[in-house]
Every structure is written in C-alpha cells, then in structure tokens.
C-alpha cells in the first residue's frame, strides 16, 4: 500500500495484490483515520472496505482486521475477475482469510499487540467478522 499525499480521510492509496504469479494493482480511498485507533480504506475497484482497529483491554491491546462488502456484493468487474482468473469466490475468500491471518500473525510477532479471535474470519487470536466479506 502506497499512500498518495498525506494520511487523512479522503486520501488515496495504490496497492499491489498478488495470487501466486499473478499481480494486479488496485486503488483505495481512506474512509476512516483515527490515529492510534483505526484505519479503514475502500477499494474502488470492488467496493470492499478493509478496517484495522486497535483497542485496549486489561491484558494489552487487540488488533481487529475486517473486510466488509456491501449487501449487493462487489462490482461486476471484480466478480468476473474472481470467477474467471482467481479461482472462484469460495477459493478467493479462503485466500483472503489466509492473508488476514498472515497479516495479523506478522503483527503479533513484530509488535506487542495481543490478537483475539472472533467468528470465522481469522484465527491466531485476531479479530475478524463473520464471513470474509460479511454483507453490511
């Protein structure tokens, strides 16, 4: 993720995604910036919103990662690419969960943040919500 400009709501990022040997760029817009608490960005090509939140509890901090998709799903372009080039929705969802777990595991190893699990989106004591893309 490469931030374009300053860190603020409304700023844009350029992101590189990969699946095996396949790489593709996406552009996102920051929709929530709360220093030391939360960051969320909406991917403009598929309408999903990624959220990261840090909250405190008696034994330390909890990092929560979510990927949210509107009730009517992702864009037709995204659906078509996922279906025909990225292995289909179920496989892609599993990869998203695996990616979330990897991200949160790496944070747990490199930073003093305790992870907590919620629902099926991720394990390793990280929070996730519902399916990989619960309808909001």
> Which residue shows structure tokens 């490469």?
2
Give domain limits for the chain. Answer: 2-110
Domain 2-110 fold: Alpha-D-Glucose-1,6-Bisphosphate; Chain A, domain 4 (3.30.530)
Q: What is the pLDDT of residue 115?
A: 46
* The pairing of beta strand 22-34 with beta strand 38-43: antiparallel
- Split the chain (136 residues) into runs of 10 and give each run's mean pLDDT: 93 90 92 93 92 82 84 86 86 82 74 44 37 37
State the pLDDT at residue 135: 36
What is the pTM assigned to this prediction? 0.72
pLDDT of the residue at 120: 33
Q: 104 in helix, strand or coil?
A: helix
Closest residue by Cα to residue 73 from 50, 97, 48: 48
Q: Where are the beta strands (DSSP E) in 5-136?
A: 12-19, 22-34, 38-43, 49-57, 60-68
Sign of CA dihedral 63, 127, 129, 94: positive
Enter the tokens of residue 44.
């403009």
Helix (H, G, I), strand (E, B) or coil at 42: strand
pLDDT at 90: 83
Determine the pLDDT at residue 54.
Answer: 85
Q: Beta strand pairing status for 12-19 and 38-43?
A: unpaired
Supply the pLDDT for residue 109.
64
- Tokens representing 7? 């860190």
Residues 6 or more apart from 80 whose CB is under 8 A from it?
none
């Amino acid at each position: 993720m490469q931030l374009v400009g300053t860190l603020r709501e409304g700023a844009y990022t350029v992101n590189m995604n990969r699946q095996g040997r396949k790489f593709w760029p996406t552009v996102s817009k920051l929709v929530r910036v709360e220093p030391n608490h939360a960051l969320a960005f909406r991917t403009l090509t598929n309408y999903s919103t990624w959220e990261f939140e840090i909250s405190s509890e008696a034994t330390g901090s909890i990092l929560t990662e979510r990927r949210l998709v509107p009730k009517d799903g992702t864009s037709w372009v995204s659906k078509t690419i996922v279906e025909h080039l990225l292995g289909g929705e179920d496989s892609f969802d599993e990869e998203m969960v695996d990616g979330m777990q990897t991200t949160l595991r790496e944070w747990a190893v490199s930073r003093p943040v305790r992870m907590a699990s919620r629902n099926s989106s991720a394990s390793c004591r990280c929070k996730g919500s519902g399916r990989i893309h619960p309808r909001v």
